[in-house]
Structure formats: structure tokens, C-alpha cells
Amino acid sequence: MGDFKHIPVMAKEIIEIISSTKADGVIIDATLGGAGHSKLILEAMPDRKLIAFDRDINAINQAKKNLAEFSDRVEIIHAGFETIGKEIRKRKLEKGVAIVLFDLGVSSHQLDVKERGFTYRHDDAPLDMRMDSSEEITAEIIVNEYDENEIERILRENGDERFSRKIAKEIVAARPLKNAGQLVAAIRRAIPHRFQRLGHPAKRTFQALRIEVNRELDQIATAIDESVHLLAPEGKILVLSYHSGEDKIVKNTFKKYFHQEKVTQDGRIIPRDFQTTKPGYESSVRLVSVSAKKKPTASEIASNSRAKSARLRVVQRQEFPAASGM
């Protein structure tokens, strides 16, 4: 299937943020891919250990080659980032994590290799889209077996597709769909020609199906919640997202942990009550936003078009007194 290529998005900004982190502990790359970010991190921080996660065994095999010189400082876990809490606690590293990096979405390799079934650019590409090939649900199952209303919901919620209803109707009418070309043809029939000039008409539908196959949106909030409670004091979470659905989940999940205050009528400042998402987690955890949402530079977008929609959010764990002092 060829080499697993990974051009790390916003690498300069990410390395600067990670290098400035004062927290002690390991670094977690929750979305290893071809190890583009991981390699740069290990080069920049020669005294740190890195633990990486990925669901794609092809990515892991290539990443091991790319990180061979750092093998004494790297542990790679074949699992999705939704398992981050379980795996890190198993290693007794809770509150011993300095950085958690998430690079959401799909890798260049997964998009480029026809056999993986992520692409709409090859008519004979299969409708697969699984990041973990051991999973059962594929895009082919969704387009051929899900009912029209469910397909419409997937396209609307996961892909922000304005023509989701028409596309869902054409997909059902065209069954059975066996390859990317047949799916693209159904999509083209649903979208008015004047809108097809704005970009490939299948882009949002393929994105939405990929997200559904891999349950990506369901896992983001869970993984971030787990990561918050793994951080050492002043530890940071960095998240690269690539579409509004992802970014909204990231923003709202972080927001639950932001230190908020209210001012009483007599001018006193009182912290608002804080509620965690899971029983047993520390209720005093607070996050602060490190900076405004960052975007790639024009020069990076020019050299890597897939960086265009990327958005980077960064938060840091703050230590506050226990509940009695809140």
C-alpha cells in the first residue's frame, strides 16, 4: 500500500507550545499516524518519553520505522484515543502527563491509498473507510443498508452537507453501491451543477461517512475528558481539528473545565460551582485557554492544502484549592 506519509500540520506552532511547557511528565500523541508530529517532539525534547496511540496498524508499522532512533523513549499502543484513560492509568501515570496532542481526522496516506476506501478520486476504490480494518462497519454497509433518514442525518451532522436530504434519496435509489465511482455519481445527481463548481461535490459526504464508520465524533469528548484528569499541573492539551463538528465538540468539552467566576451585588467574586462528567474525578480541575484559536499560515496552506481547514486549540491545567476553598 506504499509508505505511510504524514505531513505534520502546524508543526512549528505545536513544537513551540510543547517546548514552552513547564509541566513534568510524559508526552502523549493520541493520533500517531505516520509519526510526523511525534518525531519532531522527540527531537525537540530529548529528555522526554512519548506514548502514542493509533487504531491503524499500517500507520503503526510505518511509525515504528520513522521513530526507530527513539525506540528507547517511545511506546506505541494499538488502540483508539478513546482508550487513553484506561491505558495511561494502567501504567500508573495519572497526573504524570505533560502534554496530550490530538490531530483529528484522516491522514494523507489514508486518503491517498485507493485500497483503504477513503477517497472519491478513484472510481474503482472500495467503500471501506475503516481506520481499524478489524471493525465491522464500512461505508458500503452504511450506504446500502441504513435507511434514508439515518443517512441524511449522518451527512448533515457529520459533514455539514446542505444537500443531505437530496443526496440520501439518490443514494437509496442507486443501491447497491459497490465503489466510490457509483457513490460519487449519486451525489452529483443530487447537487445542483452551479454548486459543483465550488469544489468536489463528494467531499462532505465522504467525510461524513468516514466519521460515522470510525465513530470519530463520539470519541472526541470522551478522550478529552479523560486527558484533562491525566495532566500534571500546568500540563497542556493541544487539539487540531479540521471541520466545524469536531471543533465545536472540542470547544464545548474544554469550556466545561474553564475557571468561571460570578460577581455578586456587593462586588464579591465567587467561583461558580464546577461539575465533572464522571463520578470520582477531581472536582477542582480547571483549564485555561493558552491562546486564541490558531490557524495555519498562508505559506503552510500553499505547501500543504490539507492544512487549510485546520484549527488548533490549546488549554492548560491549573491547580486550584480543593472544594473547601472554592
The pLDDT of residue 291? 80
| CATH for 248 | 3.40.50.150
223 phi, psi to nearest 5 deg: -65, -40
Q: Are residues 174 and 101 part of one domain? A: no
In angstroms, rounded to a whole number, what is the distance separating the alpha carbons of residues 135 and 126?
Answer: 16
Q: Are residues 100 and 167 part of one domain? A: no
In angstroms, rounded to a whole number, what is the distance separating the alpha carbons of residues 42 and 142?
Answer: 40
In angstroms, rounded to a whole number, what is the distance separating the alpha carbons of residues 65 and 276?
Answer: 40
- Three-state secondary structure call for residue 26: strand
Q: What's the CA angle centered on 238, arms 227 and 23, to 5 degrees?
A: 70
The pLDDT of residue 114? 78
pTM, entire model = 0.84
Per-block average pLDDT, block size 10, for the chain (326 residues)? 69 96 96 94 97 93 95 96 95 96 79 80 93 92 98 95 97 98 97 88 94 92 93 96 90 83 55 50 74 91 89 88 42
In angstroms, rounded to a whole number, what is the distance separating the alpha carbons of residues 263 and 270?
Answer: 6
Q: Are residues 222 and 209 part of one domain? A: no
Enumerate the β-bridge partners of residue 288. Answer: 316
Q: What's the per-residue H, E or C state across 99-165? A: EEEEECCCCHHHHHCHHHCCCCCCCCCECCCCCCCCCCCCHHHHHHHCCHHHHHHHHHHHHCCCCHH
The pLDDT of residue 325? 39
- Three-state secondary structure call for residue 168: helix
In angstroms, rounded to a whole number, what is the distance separating the alpha carbons of residues 159 and 303?
Answer: 25
Q: Are residues 282 and 244 part of one domain? A: yes
Specify the number of domains making up the chain.
Answer: 2
Query: What is the extent of the structural domain holding 155?
Result: 136-213
- 149 in a domain, yes or no? yes
- 131 in a domain, yes or no? no
Enumerate the β-bridge partners of residue 53. Answer: 77
In angstroms, rounded to a whole number, what is the distance separating the alpha carbons of residues 99 and 24?
Answer: 9
Q: What are the Cα distances from residue 16, in Å, to 12, 238, 260, 275?
A: 6, 12, 28, 32
In angstroms, rounded to a whole number, what is the distance separating the alpha carbons of residues 173 and 165?
Answer: 13
Q: Are residues 204 and 231 part of one domain? A: no
> DSSP labels for 181-213?
HHHHHHHHHHS-HHHHTTS-TTHHHHHHHHHHH
The pLDDT of residue 245? 87
- Three-state secondary structure call for residue 234: strand
DSSP 140: H
All three cell numbers of 260: 468561571
Pick the last residue of a domain from 147, 182, 213.
Answer: 213
Cβ contacts of residue 67 below 8 Å, gap of 6+? 35, 38, 39, 42, 74, 76
Residues in the chain, overall count: 326
Q: Are residues 191 and 64 part of one domain? A: no
Number of C-alpha atoms within 13 angstroms, CB side, residue 246? Answer: 23
Residue type, 130: R
Pick the last residue of a domain from 213, 233, 257.
Answer: 213
Q: Are residues 140 and 91 part of one domain? A: no
- Three-state secondary structure call for residue 131: coil
Closest-CA residue to 252 (of 271, 277, 278, 234) = 277
